[in-house]
Chain A
Amino acid sequence: MLDRTSWSRRPGAGWRRRAGAGLLALAAVAVTALWVAPATAAAPAPSGRNYVAVSGSGSTWSENALNAWRAAVRQQGMTINYSGGGSTVGRNNFREGTVDYAVSEIPYGLEGDGSTRKYAYMPIVAGGTSFMYNLKIGGKRVTNLRLSGEVITKIFTGAIKQWDDAAIKADNPGLALPSRKIIPVVRSDGSGTTAQFVIWMNSQHPGIWRPYCTALRNEQQCNVLSNFPTKPGAGFVGQSQSNGVSSYVAQPYAEGAITYVEYSYALKNQFPVAKVLNSAGYYIEPRATSVAVALTKAEIDRVDLTQKLGGVYSNSDKRSYPLSSYSYMIIPIALESGLTLDKGYTLAKFAYYFLCTGQQSADSLGYSPLPKNLVEAGLLQVERIPGAVHEDIKIENCKNPTFSPDGTNLLVRNAKDPEPCDQRGPTQCVTGTGGARQNTATSGNSQNSTGGGNTGTGATNQNNTPGTAQPTTGAPAAVDPDTGEVIGGGDGGGEQFVAGVPVSLDGEGGWQLRHTMMVLAALLLIALVVGPPLIFRRAGSTSAGDIRGNR
């Protein structure tokens, strides 16, 4: 049995909370046998504040990152709870005071909700909305698809329905795109990923997005939606959750499907993602560096502290991925709804961890680290949490991979430029993307970058099929150098490659007539070249001399 006498002398945790300030807590140490405190190996917090459990809920988009960070700070004695029930749930829970913090991709207000509880927004983790697709040409998976923003918007508004649409071909001069129906796969549940995508379409391609959306929802709603609006019979497929849309696309029957989803799901399924055209004219994959570079142009609205991504979408750095964004932590800035100074202290320490050290794991976890501008903005917000200790929150000590302690922007220095073949134009890189790093051969005069890949990480599998990885010469797909349009035989051939009439040329085994004919042809050719002189020589080598002599 337990020592009940010591129990009875233990002050209640609520007492500790009431104490708030350090003095009383220290007094408690003196008069009680036991006290509740984190037994950190580090020195006690200078403020006398303690780590206590803090709970939050919200975004599933950020859940992997939060889980990794929670596990990391738990080693330091911080208990941070989180449940990923979705951004909307998180915002509601925060407003209702049932959680201490929330994580959301969209701020209050955009969906008609609000909070009387005082809050601030803080960037937490960045990532690109990526477009995972399932497309094959001649039975081989395409891994190097490129899409412009306009084409993406048209695909997800039903304006482009076929993979061999001229606009998609224009983006992909090296691919002989099949005449196959596009299956846009969207989230059927409310989702921050949808919201981020919709905000981008509404901002960058309103002329395509708004006519489509306003036919289904009202003008206000079409600015941002967490439920994707779809038209009956338009061929859209709705699936719940990120694993729903991504695993749908990955199914064997889903050839032709494309969805918007977190990059990590493409990795998990070993599927490629589309490279998206940026305003510098390069098609870029949503890798950690390209998202971080894009977000160097992110601004935080000074009035309501929400994100302004206009500069991100149109970032002219040729390394930047246009659909880059980040999720917010909604943090409490008043002692209300159960927030205590100890909780605020813990939350602030956690926030400092993930804005700095924790960002070192972002790439590995499938996200992108926050660049310096967002970290600075975030640290200003952390200081507003009641209980936060200024001494603990300093940018000089912030070990974020995008900048060094002296302020050097490591991104600018370390992020690699895209390969020339990623530039808009007649060439197209062959290197794979996302979770499908294998090359896709391109036709025509494409450049090849089989060496290390344009991202510096593309070494996998490249040597597995050296023969087929080379650009195929002799393909009849001529390319108009001005438009990038495939002209001539390309169009005609593409028309014949209709969905539902798969042509299997590579999978057939066995010896067939054509093989016989090929061998026959080769033998004949050899005979033609070698035969005459041999016969000539053998039959009468002197006759040549005769002829010469006779002349």
Chain B
Amino acid sequence: MTRVRGAAPVRRRLTAAVLAVLVAPLALLVTGAPDGHRPVLAAQVADTPTESAMTKHGRPGKYQDFSALQVTVSQTKSLVNQAITVTWKGGEPTEPVRYFGKNFLQVMQCWGPDPDAPDFRETCLWGASGANPTELFTGPDALHRRVRASFQASGGVREVDPAEAALPEGVRLPDGAEYPPFRSAQGDRQTWGTSPFGEPAWVPPIENYFDRNTTNELPFGRTARDGTGRATFELQTTTEERDLGCGDPIQQTDGSTKGRPCWLVVVPRGGYDWNGEPLDGNAQGGRVVDGSPLSATFFADRIVFPLEFEPVGSFCAENSELRQTVGSHLMEDAAASWYGALCAGSSRPPLVLNPMGDVEASQQLRTEVFGAPVGLAYVTDPVVRTEYDPPIVHAPVALGAAVITFQIEGRVPQTAPDVDQELANVQVRDLKLTPRLVAKLLTQSYSREIVQGAVGDRVTYPSLRQDPEFLDLNPVFARFETNFHPSGILVTDGNSALAHQVWQWVLSDQEAVSWLAGAKDPSGMTVNPNFLPVFAGGTAPANFPKADPNCFDIDGPVIPDGPDDGDEPDDGTAPERCATHISPYVDTLRKAASQTLRGQSGAQNWVINGDCPPGQKDCWKSDPPQPVGQRFMLSITDAASAARYALPTAQLRNRAGEFVGPTQASLLAQVQNAAEPSAVEGVTQNNPHKPVTGGYPLAMLTYAAVNLGLPKDQRTDYARLLRHAATTGQVPGVQLGQLPPGYVPLPQPLRDRTLAAATEVENYTAPTPSPTDTESPPPPPPAANPKPPTPGAPPAPSATASPSPSAVPPTPVAQTTLTLGQPVGWIRFLILVVLGLGLASIVAGPAMWLRGYRRSPSNSSAPPRT
């Protein structure tokens, strides 16, 4: 039975209509030197070979011998939805330097039971990348499933792979057919039919199964001149791609459960076509790689790695109760791992996490929600309770970090010398940033991040690429094209402890502080003046403001102005485009990382007569992803999200003046040496002003704040979570229950505290008479607006509560007496005049009395008072 996937020609699983073109392939992250592995926390996961790493050699092919090619996959067992790396050596260098004419690798994931079966290729997820190969001077069919191609860079007559005819019945394509069908793990197989244009033996587009939004195929793995290469590949489980079904739980006869295994398939594309004729790889009218890697000739050269997946889903009994936890987005990965392990095989109510900012989380912990009680909040800043609140105990549970992550693939001028051509399309792995550079990125101070003409007379640069301060630190960028720009830096909306910590670090640097106050940097660049008020109070914001208000009429003259004088779509004119359209926010840290990986800035452009929703002629559309191999993306996210996508992270200059990346050592150094007491006993906070040698300034220690006012059975469940978090939950690994990549195991003293807290949570007994006099929980903190005693640290961490960045007091109260705009004039001196007269009277009165007294002295005295 063929599953009918509907009449629509194109299956759009994701946001296709609105946010059109996103290329998902985790393509082309190549470097010529695979040994440059500094232990960066995020990239560490994928880079470090695991016990189950596997290396295989290429095959002696029909026309080309790939035996020298040696491909290593970093992990092949206990897999989940994760990034792995594929590295290789002994390959022929990709040519030409800028493009993909010949000699590169294509990587894909397949599910078929037998990798040697002739119909195995039908089970491979390939052909939906949507990338435009001609931009890279590759044959147009090299990215499709089509087995008919010309091998001409300039087009030409297409012929079918001659080896196709030798395939067995049932696998061999019918006469006239060009596309091998896809067969899904659910069992349906595409059938040949007649195309809408009457072509026989036509297979519906592969987008009926997967599309550019969801595919993980990697069309271009570049081999450097030394024969090495490196690529990151996102493994998808059945959750991400059910048509592959990898990790589908399969119950074994012994009652245990395994995940459905799958395969990683690497197809080397060499220097020959399927007739054995050589390719020259010449982009200008030469012969280049073409035709699907699934075609019989090329697929025969495949290198296959078995992938053993963990069973997807951790299975818990149905339960009508649940235990709510709320808080930090930094905990999402850890919670997913821990909660699944805790409820598996248990009859206790499952835990759920509702991610939200610290302030809202602490609010929910202390007050009643309508529904299941919130018993635990993950916070960076401690929950400060008031006397009305239930007692709360804090326990450290996870050490993570805010990171600046990036996806930068060198784009060098065509005219550059060979030594620079070596950098073409090569992923940049090292980036150094100072607080001032980050301040520049976060204040819309580079001209490309705001509307044209809004810069005024201010000295600035289009982007980092041309900023001398950046180039001094990162000289390799000077060899890239001068118009190779990032599209700003992706940041999340709303208030968060993460944003606050980033700003605290920036504002701990005198250079950055004075620059934010309007001073010039050494090259004369100044801050976007719209941000001057934001930092006037010296307080670290708890969000990433985009304070530049300038917009311009898209179809009008380019005159930047305010946003609200606009034209509108429906009268035939375009609306206004503002800085927020150029660099929009992302909703979550996870999305920030995935968009960075895929080169999606999310920038909104107004399209006229475009592919718009029904009833609209023109509409806003997101920019297409940046071309593979030429991406330049930056974002602020957490280490766990960066690790999830194997993204590199920037080294940041700490207070000790060193550039430090997020490693296990640097996070521990920071949290152990820069910690200082907070308003709540037993809870420490990061002091951004303290120089810590080797410390990563954005280390973030997350606490679980547990409400002790709950009934015993609920507290028992939270205590169980704390115990898990302090034990198995600190064992690094991707298995259910372990500490996922991107976190650093807590030092033992902190784990001991969490274990002690667990006991306290479980055994707490409410003091009967006085709610404020408790013995076991930490004493209630001093009432409101606590500021930890931080000499020399102006922005106290608890200022996260500040709703407006510029407001120093956390709770501005609107003044409701009428605020007069003009002075009241002379009348304000009235009272002074009256009082002056009074003074005169004071002096004059007794003086006159005295005079009178002297003239007629009395002979009697006042009667004594009793």
Contacts and interface: CB of A to CB of B under 8 A. Distances in A.
Interface stretch (A192-200, A234-242, A278-286, A419-427): A234-242
B51 interface: no
Contacts of A525: 835, 838
A177 to B, nearest CB: 10
B14 interface: yes
Interface stretch (A305-313, A318-326, A460-468): A460-468
6 contacts: A52-B242, A53-B242, A71-B352, A227-B615, A356-B320, A456-B367
B386 A459 contact: yes
Interface in A190-215: 190
B564 A235 contact: yes
B616 interface: yes
Contact of A39 (B4, B251, B320, B810): B251
A497 B858 contact: no
Nearest to A70: B239
Interface in A14-41: 14-18, 33-41
Interface in B638-674: none
Contacts of A539: 846, 849-850, 853
Contacts of A1: 306
A536 B545 CA distance: 65
Given A34-B251, A111-B615, A267-B360, A532 B13 contact: no
Contacts of B615: 111-112, 221, 227
Interface stretch (A93-101, A146-154, A294-302, A375-383): A93-101
Contacts of B17: 85-86, 88-89, 92
A248 B846 CA distance: 67
B317 A542 contact: no
B357 A268 contact: yes
B533 A252 contact: yes
Contact of B564 (A79, A183, A288, A362): A183
B861 A541 contact: yes
Given A112-B614, A227-B613, A524-B835, 11 more contacts: A41-B345, A57-B15, A75-B339, A77-B315, A246-B494, A268-B494, A353-B318, A459-B386, A465-B809, A475-B817, A535-B842
Nearest to B571: A232
Interface size class on chain B is: 35 or more
B250 interface: yes
B835 A236 contact: no
A440 B370 CA distance: 25
Interface stretch (B65-73, B183-191, B502-510, B683-691): B183-191
A334 interface: no
A251 interface: yes
A14 B860 contact: no
Given A34-B251, A232-B571, A543-B858, A265 B564 contact: no
Given A38-B315, A55-B242, A252-B547, A247 B849 contact: no
A289 interface: yes
Given A363-B371, A541-B862, A251 B620 contact: no
Contacts of A139: 812, 815
Contacts of B814: 136-138, 140-143, 175, 440-441
Interface in B795-824: 801, 803-807, 809-822
A303 interface: no
A196 B317 CA distance: 37
A404 interface: no
Nearest to B15: A85
Contacts of B21: none
B580 A248 contact: yes
Contact of A7 (B4, B113, B242, B366): B113
Contacts of A8: 113-114
A254 B546 CA distance: 11
Contacts of B253: 33-34
A440 B16 contact: no
B575 A57 contact: no
Contacts of A460: 359, 363, 366, 801
A390 interface: no
Given A364-B371, A461-B810, A540 B858 contact: yes
A190 B613 CA distance: 8
Interface stretch (B137-145, B321-329, B400-408, B725-733): B321-329
Interface string B607-620: 00000011110011
B815 A506 contact: yes
A154 B451 CA distance: 32
Interface stretch (B165-173, B435-443, B581-589): B581-589
Contacts of A77: 249, 313, 315
B809 A232 contact: no
Interface string B851-863: 0010000101111
B3 interface: yes
B566 A244 contact: no
B13 A140 contact: no
Pairs of residues from A and B, 10 with the lowest C-beta to C-beta distance, nearest first: A14-B187, A97-B6, A85-B15, A493-B818, A268-B494, A140-B814, A138-B815, A96-B8, A438-B811, A399-B320
B488 to A, nearest CB: 14
B432 interface: no
A368 B371 CA distance: 9
A38 B344 CA distance: 13
Interface string B314-357: 11111111101010000000001001100111000010111011
A48 interface: no
Interface in A514-551: 517, 520-521, 524-525, 527-528, 531-532, 535-536, 539-546, 549
Contacts of B861: 541-542, 545
Contacts of A520: 832, 835
B157 interface: no
B364 interface: yes
Interface in A51-88: 52-53, 55, 57, 68, 71-72, 74-79, 81, 83-86, 88
A190 to B, nearest CB: 5
A79 B242 contact: yes
B816 A35 contact: no
Contacts of B3: 14, 338
Contact of A38 (B249, B320, B542): B249
A72 B811 contact: no
Contacts of A435: 359-360, 803
